[in-house]
Amino acid sequence: MNLLEIKNITLLKEGRPILNNLSMEIWNGHVHAIIGPNGAGKSTLANTIMGLSGYRDFEGDIVFNGESLKGLSIDERARKGITLLFQEPARFEGLSVSQFILAGAKEKSQEIVEEALRQVGLVPENYMKRAVDKTLSGGERKRIELASIYAMKPRLVLMDEPDSGVDIDSVKYIFGIIKDLKQAGSTVILITHSPEVLKRADHAFLICAGTLVDKGEVSRMFDYFSGKCIPCPHKGQPDTDKIISNVSTFALN
């Protein structure tokens, strides 16, 4: 069963198509990866699904659980069970970690806050009263955002470069949360340049120039990371140096 259907989406920025007649089917309860070169439209697609400002004026349709999302606000989409983990984790001045996690949690209890923090490898007693601000590192903030998503129990999670800017320990907990979300019945979309993140998916899409050029089993998609792109209209190539660095780092750990 499809939880999400992207139907012939075209979105223009400054008169240029960032998404170009793009169609995808996202299966319920699966982990999907979206790969492709920089500028291919991956983050734009996530922002459009979430309904961020500047990404709501598009042709085509986005259907979630059988209902069109067109015209719905971010809050309305969130109430339907859609959430987005940004590449750069947010700061929320004035909110404690506990308040931040409880804001979106299905179960409003300190126990769920403690459980969510433990799931991302943070000691609850050391973090619950801390502010979600610049005193936290980028890795800590990303783990806390992941804890909040774990507590939400969302229907659909969009993760934009979930391993970006975090240490190896944080990455391991990110992978653990992806597994936990799937086991709890959530559908996950991973937007990534990393072969290690791709391994956590059940299925993958390759997009270039805002167009779907390939889809299929994850094992078949690793050719992209070897620079063996199939013919497409985009001039970009995989960032081979970054990929080699990522693979080497994980091999050493």
Q: Identify the DSSP state of 233.
A: S
DSSP 3-state assignment of 75?
helix
Is the pLDDT assigned to residue 76 strictly greater than 80?
Answer: yes
Cα separation, 249 vs 3, in Å, equals 35
Q: What is the mean pLDDT of the chain?
A: 87
Q: Give the model confidence (pLDDT) of 170-209 as tens digits.
A: 888 889 999 999 999 999 999 998 999 999 999 999 999 9
> Which CATH superfamily does the domain covering 2-89+155-162+170-251 fall into?
P-loop containing nucleotide triphosphate hydrolases (3.40.50.300)
Cα separation, 192 vs 177, in Å, equals 16
pLDDT of residue 250: 35
Q: Which amino acid is at 234?
A: H
Report the pLDDT averaged over residues 11-16.
91
pLDDT of residue 225: 74
Of 55-69, 139-153, 216-230, highest mean pLDDT: 55-69
Domain boundaries, the chain: 2-89+155-162+170-251
The token duo for 128 is 């619950």
Q: Are 62 and 24 in contact (CB under 8 A)?
A: no
Cα separation, 50 vs 76, in Å, equals 10
- Tokens 């969510």 locate to 116
